[in-house]
A and B are shown apart, each in its own frame.
Chain A
Amino acid sequence: MSEIKVALIGNPNTGKTSLFNRLTGLNQKVGNYPGITVDKKVGHTKLNNIIGAEVIDLPGTYSLNASSLDEDVAVQVLSDKTNENYPDVVVVVVDIENLKRNLFLYSQVKDLGIPTILAINMVDQMTVRGIDIDKQEMEALLETKIAFVSSKQNKGISYLKKLIIDFKDLSVVPCFIEEPTVFSVLAKDDKKKHHLETVRRYQFIKSVLEKTYRQDPQNAKDLRSILDKVLIHKYFGYLIFFTILFSIFQALFSWSAFPMDYIDETFAGFSEMARAHLSEGVFTDLLAEGIIPGIGGVVIFIPQIAFLFLFTSVLEESGYMSRVVFLMDKIMRKFGLSGKSIVPLISGTACAIPAIMATRNIENWKERLITILVTPFTTCSARLPVYAIIISLIVPAEAKFMSFNVQGLMLMALYLLGFGMAIVSATILDKVLKLGSKSYFVVEMPNYKLPLFKNVAYNVIEKTKAFVFEAGKIILALSILLWVLASYGPGDNFNNAETIVSQNHPNHTEEELQTEISSYKLENSYIGIMGKTIEPVIRPLGYDWKIGIAVITSFAAREVFVGTLATIYSVGNEEESTIKERMRNEVFQDSKKPVYSFATGVSILLFYAFAMQCMSTIAIVKRETNGWKWPMIQMFVMSGFAYLTALIAFQILK
C-alpha cells in the first residue's frame, strides 16, 4: 500500500488533536522529533483500499514565526524539503469561530509552496453562531480546497480524505506573496520586517473574509462570559480552583485505594503460585522474589497515575487551565515565575518530565529557567508509592479530622509542602539569578468546551503507558539486579549461613531456623554489605540498612523504593504476606523497636519530598538548559536539603 505523507498543523485549541484521533484512531504512536524532546505524534490511516496515509501531528502553533522551540518544530519540518517528515500535503486545521487569526497561519503555510488543504473545524457550531461562509469564493481567493469538518460529530472526514488522495490537483501557488519570510527561533530575526509582513497578511485575510464570511453577532451572553464571571471572579475564582485541587487529592487517595489493594494481593498471590507450581531452583526464586514483586511494584500505581492524568487532561481540555494561568499570573510573578508556570507546576503532580517540557511556552528565559529548576519539587506520581505506603504505616486508616480522612489530609499536606518549596526556592532564585531578559505574556483564552471523552481517554492511556513502560524498565531491571545482589554474597559467612546459624541457635525449631538463616544470609549478601556501609550516614535520619538500600536504588527513580523493599523483605522471609504487613513488623536489630515509627516515617516522607531522585528528570533538565550546570546544581541542592530536613525532623520527633 502506498502512503501519502500528511502533516496536520493548526493553532492551539482548534480541535487539531481530535481530528488527528478521528483520522488515525488507535493506530498512532508518540515519539520525539530527532534531536529535540518535543512530542511527535504519528498515525496511520487508510484513505481507500489502495492508498494509505501517514499523518504527522505538528505541535500547535500560531504562526511560522517561531518564538518557542515547540513552534520551531513546525517551521523546521515544513521549510526543509530534506526533512524526513517533509509532507506531500499539509492540512491546516482552523476553528470556525476565529477564522481571522487562524487564516494567518494558513496564509503562511500556503506560501511555502506545499499542496495545502484548509480544514475548517467545528462546523457544528456554524448555525448556533449564525455563521455563513461562501465556500467557493473562499477557495478561489485562498487558492485551495476547503473541507468543512466536525471532529466532534465525525462529519466531513471522508471528504477530507478524498481531498488528501487528490493532493496532486491542489494548487501550489502562494496565496499572498511569492517569497514568504519564515523564521526559526534559531535564526536572527528582523522584527520590523516581521511586523510589516504580519500587518499586510492580516489586511489580506480581512479582505478575503469581507467577501466570504458573515456572522450574526447575537451571542453576547454565551457560555464563555457566564463561566468567566464565576471562574475568574476575584474570590470565587480562587475558591473554586483550590476546591478543585483539594477534591482531586481526596479522590486520588480514596478512589484508588480499592484497585491498589486488589493489585497488591493479586501479585502476592502470583508469587505464591509460582512457588507452588514450579520446581525449586534459581529461576523460580528469581521469578517469585525478583520479577513478580518488581512488576507488581509498577502495576500497583497505575490507578493513581491514571486518575491524575485523567484530572489534568480534563482541566486542560475544558479550557479551564488558561483561566488558572490568568488568575495566578500576578501572584506567580511575585515569586519570579509566570502565570504559565502554573501548568508545569500542576502537571508536575503527574510527572516532572512532561512538566519541564511544558515550560517551553514560557517566553522569558529567566522565568522559564526558574520554573524548570523548581518543578521537581512538586509531588510527582513517582512519590505517591512512597507516600502512600509510609502514610498508611504511620497513620491509621480510620483516623478522622473534622470528618476528613487523615491519610488524605496528610497526602494533601505533602503536596502543599512540595508546592510551597517550589515557590520558596523560586523566590530565592529570582533574587539570586542575574539574568536580564525581557518578559512578555500573551495567553489565549480558549472557549470552554466539554472535554471529549475520546481525547481524554487517549491522553490517559498514552501517558500512563509511557510511565509504566519507562519506569517499568528501570524498576524491573533493578529488581532483578537487587535479587542477584541479595541472593549472593562474598565469603564464608554467606555460603555457610546454614551451618553457622544452626550452631548458634541449637534450640530453634525448623521454621525459626529457616527465618533466621534467610535474614542472616541477606545481611551478609552483597546488598547487605552495601546497605551497612552507608548505615552510619543514614542512621541519624532513622533509617536502617535495609531502607538505606532502598534509598540508594531509588536515586535512579523514586518509585523504585517500594519495589526494592518488596524485594528485600520477601527475600528475607519465606512466609507470604503483603509488603505493608512486612514493613509493619520490621524492627531494628539492636533495639528491637519498630523501624517504621512515626519519626522515621516523617523523615522518609520529607527525604522523598525534596531529594532529586530521578535520572530522567536530570536528563531532561540537561537537555532543556543545554548543559550539565543546572541539573547538577539542582541535584546537589535538592538532595542536600532533603538530607538536612529529614535529619532535623527525625531528631526532633524521635
Chain B
Amino acid sequence: MKLSTIADLLKGDRAIIKSFNGIDIPLKLIEMGCIEGNYVEVLQRAPLKDPIYLNISGTYLAIRIEVASKIIVEKL
C-alpha cells in the first residue's frame, strides 16, 4: 500500500481518500464529498500546474495544490 497526497497524483490517476486533518481542510470541500473512502480522479492540472481539476466521487471541482497536498490518498 503506497500513500501519497492528491497533489502528487498525475493526470488520469485514480485514488481513494484515506485521511486528512479536518481542521486544515475547508468545510466546503468536505461537504462537496471529500471524505474518507471516496474516490478521486485527477482530470487535469491548470496550465500553470495549479489549481488541480478533480472528480471526487462524481463531484467535479477545482482546488489549489496547497489544499490538495494535505489530503492523503491511496493510489489505485
Contacts and interface: CB of A to CB of B under 8 A. Distances in A.
Interface stretch (A1-9, A74-82, A326-334): A326-334
Given A100-B57, A192-B22, A444-B61, A327 B27 contact: no
Contacts of A327: 46-47
B50 interface: yes
Interface residues of A, number: 43
Interface string A55-70: 0000000110101000
A214 to B, nearest CB: 14
B66 to A, nearest CB: 8
A232 B47 contact: yes
B4 interface: no
A441 interface: yes
B31 A339 contact: no
Contact of A329 (B35, B50, B61, B67): B50
Given A326-B51, A326-B53, A199 B30 contact: yes
A199 B35 contact: yes
B56 to A, nearest CB: 9
Interface in B2-60: 22-23, 26-33, 35-36, 43-44, 46-51, 53, 57-60
Interface of A: 62-63, 65, 67, 97-98, 100-101, 104, 191-192, 194-195, 198-199, 202, 224-225, 228, 232-235, 237-238, 322, 325-327, 329-331, 339, 363, 439-447
Contact of B26 (A202, A442, A447): A442
Nearest to B65: A330
Contacts of A235: 47
Contact of B60 (A191, A195, A446): A446
A441 B61 CA distance: 10
Given A192-B23, A195-B22, A444 B48 contact: no
Name the prevailing secondary structure of the A interface residues: helix
Contacts of A331: 48
Contacts of A439: 64, 66
A62 B32 contact: yes
Contacts of A100: 33, 57-59
30 contacts: A62-B32, A67-B27, A67-B28, A98-B58, A100-B59, A101-B32, A191-B22, A192-B22, A192-B23, A198-B30, A198-B31, A199-B35, A199-B36, A202-B33, A202-B35, A224-B60, A228-B53, A234-B47, A235-B47, A327-B46, A329-B64, A330-B47, A330-B51, A440-B26, A441-B51, A442-B32, A442-B63, A443-B62, A445-B53, A445-B62
Contacts of A237: 47
B5 to A, nearest CB: 16
Nearest to B57: A100
